[in-house]
Structure 1
Amino acid sequence: MTDFFAGIPQLTYQGAEAESDFAFRHYNPDEIILGRRMEDHLRFAICYWHNFAWPGGDPFGGQTFLRPWFGNTMEHAKLKADVAFEMFRILNAPYFCFHDVDMRPEGADFAENTRNLEEMTEYFAAKMDAGGPKLLWGTANLFSHRRFMSGAATNPDPDVFAFSAATVKTCMDATHRLGGENYVLWGGREGYETLLNTDMKRELDHMGRFLSMVVEYKHKIGFKGTILIEPKPQEPTKHQYDYDVATVFGFLQRFGLEKEVKVNIEQGHAILAGHSFEHEIATAAALGVFGSIDMNRNDYQSGWDTDQFPNNTPEVALAYYEILRAGGFTSGGTNFDAKLRRQSLDAEDLILAHAGAMDVCARGLKAAAAMLEDGRLEAARGTRYAGWDKPEAQAMLASDLDSITADVIARGVDPQPHSGKQEKLENLVNRFM
């Protein structure tokens, strides 16, 4: 126990009329939705980095948070873990996620980094064994340190590639030791600023080989979790190789990894790529690579990834609708890759931000489930494509251009367009919000 969250009670579901700020109004872990507990649908995870490692800076100013665990010693790292697991308990979160540098101090070299990581892994394991949450996924931070300024797997220096590969190995070991259900590769600087100094083909080949090594090592150590790539456009690198779901899928196909690797999709990254969150989820589902999500939002007046907690129920509902249509999560879940505003200094701000976000997701899930149970959206979709269910339409797909042309002439085909009824369907969706 620490005194950082002193006076803040453990949150419980108290219903929509609850008067206390420290309550769940819509997130009821045991409520049954479509035959499953709400907690098992949502699989909430708390991120370690934004909550406990981020100092409150932005592109124009430095640290605003003064946390007692900020420092680069093992004592600081253990105090940070104590506070983190206390917050997990207050929120009754079933999962958490981490980068290696979030949980361990930076050492003088790779060997010291590894010793620090291994010691903190055992510290985490003891807390998890004592009733702490499970690990949704682990990952390596291969973007913050100056050594990674030109990338990790795509770095022009083979020594940086080697350091990165070794770091990922240690992080996979830690994730495996802690029973992680996934391992994420977050390519924060896998891309380039200018073609004037870039050998793109070489970099893509190296990135493909790096990912293949990760998959090989997964099988070598018997890790049963899912390997995930997190698509990310533009920021921080101008031209990211992992721009969006479709780009990542093409990359996986090129290296024969589409059956081995899935995607972790972030709402904020989807928007930066010019897509909606539900588009990216539906794309991943259609391609068979949907894995997990990072739930946050961007400020639509800003041109970067602001990582704010979700507060828009209709947006969230459309995302969960596509997740439910795809069969729901398996090893993945809902990670809050979100951070406080730099003016939100108090301990209670950390708790209330998550409580509100969990309620928004619960409301969105219930709306999505109600739409799916109602069936009218799927019925309208089925009606729109009903012509393709006819035997002659299916036969046409196995035919050729000459045969199709002859048939069009023989039948005198002159197709007339049909309404897509978009406004009607949008009105229908709004009834559930």
Structure 2
Amino acid sequence: MSTGFFEGLSKVTYQGAQSTEPLVYRHYNPEEVVLGKRMADHLRFAVAWWHSFAWEGGDPFGGATFQRPWHPQDDMGRAKMKADVAFEMFDLLGVPYYCWHDADLRPEQGSFAANLSTLDEITDYLGEKMQGRDIGLLWGTANMFSDRRWMSGASTNPDPDVFAYAAATVKGCLDATHKLGGQNYVLWGGREGYETLLNTDMGQELDHMGRFLNMVVDYKHKIGFEGTILVEPKPQEPSKHQYDFDAATCIGFLRKYGLEGEVKLNLEQGHAILAGHSFEHEIAVAAADGMLGSIDMNRNDYQSGWDTDQFPNNVPEVALAYYHILKAGGLGTGGTNFDAKLRRQSLDPVDLIAGHVGAMDVCARGLKAAAAMIEDGGLEDALTDRYAGWSSEAAQAMLGSDLEAIQARVLAEGIEPAPRSGRQEILENYVNRFV
């Protein structure tokens, strides 16, 4: 039976680029084949439970603006009503996946045992809702940053009881993810960092975080969870400095603690910007080390300077992101999760649908532009030309040589290199032909 929350709204369908209807897909055609694969299988869209259903419209300076029928989210009846509305939205959008934190799904009960019980109850309910629907769980995760118990970190907390509580929480969430057939499990260390070095033993905290993540991997194998374990980089906010600052930092951490073969990265566009990078930079860094796992697609307000989690609307940015994803062979078990929320003034149910429809179209346009660039080959040809010198026998031999031999060769051959143009403007103009 319908909840009536989306009353009057119909299932969103693909109508093509010429349509002027406000709630249709102009570019996202899930059955369209792009580079030999369905568009839906490239993009693997997911809805974020926290922003779409749990968030109440507050910001650092003001309280809730949304008045949803499941607010306040303080009992299991409202939790199940929220789930009913969520699956109605999944049906309207035709998305294949969703994602959650434990605290998004269940009310806070005040004790670990009670929270675990209600998590089991609500995820059983989600499993029932999934039956007969073409919808899966892209990933689950634990909220270990909102409650005051996490104020000094989870796995990095100076209190061993908090470490224990975090480990027990992740076990419960990984069990629930496994039960629902989740494709991945994400760990985002929202409080895994420090406010001041005056009270921080960084070496100990990093060792504890490394041990914690190894425990997660060990448990994954013990229960036969076949999904991918992911960590999500973010440089700051809420902590002054977080240990998972960016993709390169996370990769170094994973290698230090012997996890590079077990854990990949879930990369977010907004977090990349906060770290001083572009999204395509973070994707390329992860792909170069074989650690690209999944993405959170959103955008920041570039004037505000913090993580505003808006729906993506910049096709050129998105196209470059998917270009590097396609070059890396795709997202595997990962997908495109909309870690994005409405603006506080967007109060109506239709706004929630419109935000996702527009974002899915932007991603579809970006994907098609990226595929067209790959098929055209212009960027690859430019790279081949720029690095052509390294294909010679002499250049390859130099990599296995030493400084003395190389200096002797430079002197003997009179090598005096002349700089060559990087042709950045030409390449930027090339990209603009497609976006």
Q: One fold, TM greater than 0.5? A: yes
Give the partner amino acid of 1:159: D
Pairs within 5 Å for 1:27-106: 27-70=28-71, 71-106=73-108
Instruction: Look up the SS of the partner of 1:45 in the other structure.
Output: strand
Instruction: Identify the residue that residue 202 of structure 1 maps to in structure 2.
Output: 204
Q: Residues of 1 paired with 2:423 and 2:386: CA distance?
A: 10
Instruction: Look up the SS of the partner of 1:213 in the other structure.
Output: helix
Q: Residues of 2 paired with 1:89 and 1:81: CA distance?
A: 12
Instruction: Identify the residue that residue 406 of structure 2 maps to in structure 1.
Output: 404
Instruction: Identify the residue that residue 240 of structure 2 maps to in structure 1.
Output: 238
Instruction: Identify the residue that residue 429 of structure 2 maps to in structure 1.
Output: 427
Instruction: Identify the residue that residue 16 of structure 2 maps to in structure 1.
Output: 15
Instruction: Look up the SS of the partner of 2:23 in the other structure.
Output: coil
Higher mean Cα deviation, 108-117 or 265-274?
108-117
1:19 Cα deviation after fit: 2.8
Deviations 1:78-126 (A, max 9, x none): 0000000000000000000000011111112110011000001110001
Give the partner amino acid of 1:190: E
Instruction: Identify the residue that residue 213 of structure 2 maps to in structure 1.
Output: 211
Deviations 1:14-37 (A, max 9, x none): 111223212101100000100000
In 2, are the aligned partners of 1:85 and 1:132 still within 8 Å (CA)? no
Q: Residues of 2 paired with 1:145 and 1:232: CA distance?
A: 19
Instruction: Look up the SS of the partner of 1:298 in the other structure.
Output: coil
Determine whether 1:264 maps to 2:266.
yes
Instruction: Look up the SS of the partner of 1:171 in the other structure.
Output: helix
State the TM-score, normalizing by the size of structure 1: 0.99
1:132 Cα deviation after fit: 5.0
Percent sequence identity over matched residues? 70
Query: Equivalent of 1:389, from 376, 386, 391?
Result: 391
Instruction: Look up the SS of the partner of 1:263 in the other structure.
Output: strand
Count of paired positions:
433
Determine whether 1:158 maps to 2:160.
yes
Q: Residues of 1 paired with 2:180 and 2:276: CA distance?
A: 36
CA RMSD of aligned residues (A): 0.7
Instruction: Look up the SS of the partner of 2:146 in the other structure.
Output: coil
1:287 Cα deviation after fit: 1.1
Q: Residues of 2 paired with 1:48 and 1:12: CA distance?
A: 22
Instruction: Identify the residue that residue 280 of structure 1 maps to in structure 2.
Output: 282
Determine whether 1:191 maps to 2:193.
yes
Pairs within 5 Å for 1:260-339: 260-339=262-341
Instruction: Look up the SS of the partner of 1:318 in the other structure.
Output: helix
Instruction: Look up the SS of the partner of 2:190 in the other structure.
Output: coil
Deviations 1:118-147 (A, max 9, x none): 001110001111315100000000000010
Instruction: Identify the residue that residue 253 of structure 2 maps to in structure 1.
Output: 251
Deviations 1:198-229 (A, max 9, x none): 11111001000000000000000000000000
Instruction: Look up the SS of the partner of 2:29 in the other structure.
Output: coil
Unmatched tracts of structure 2, length 5 or more: none
Instruction: Identify the residue that residue 184 of structure 2 maps to in structure 1.
Output: 182
Instruction: Look up the SS of the partner of 1:265 in the other structure.
Output: strand
Query: Equivalent of 1:127, from 110, 119, 129?
Result: 129
Instruction: Identify the residue that residue 5 of structure 2 maps to in structure 1.
Output: 4
Q: Residues of 1 paired with 2:302 and 2:244: CA distance?
A: 22
Instruction: Look up the SS of the partner of 2:120 in the other structure.
Output: helix
Deviations 1:14-72 (A, max 9, x none): 11122321210110000010000000010000000001001101111111111111221
Q: Residues of 1 paired with 2:69 and 2:204: CA distance?
A: 45
Q: Residues of 2 paired with 1:50 and 1:220: CA distance?
A: 32
Instruction: Look up the SS of the partner of 1:348 in the other structure.
Output: helix
Q: Residues of 2 paired with 1:350 and 1:301: CA distance?
A: 24
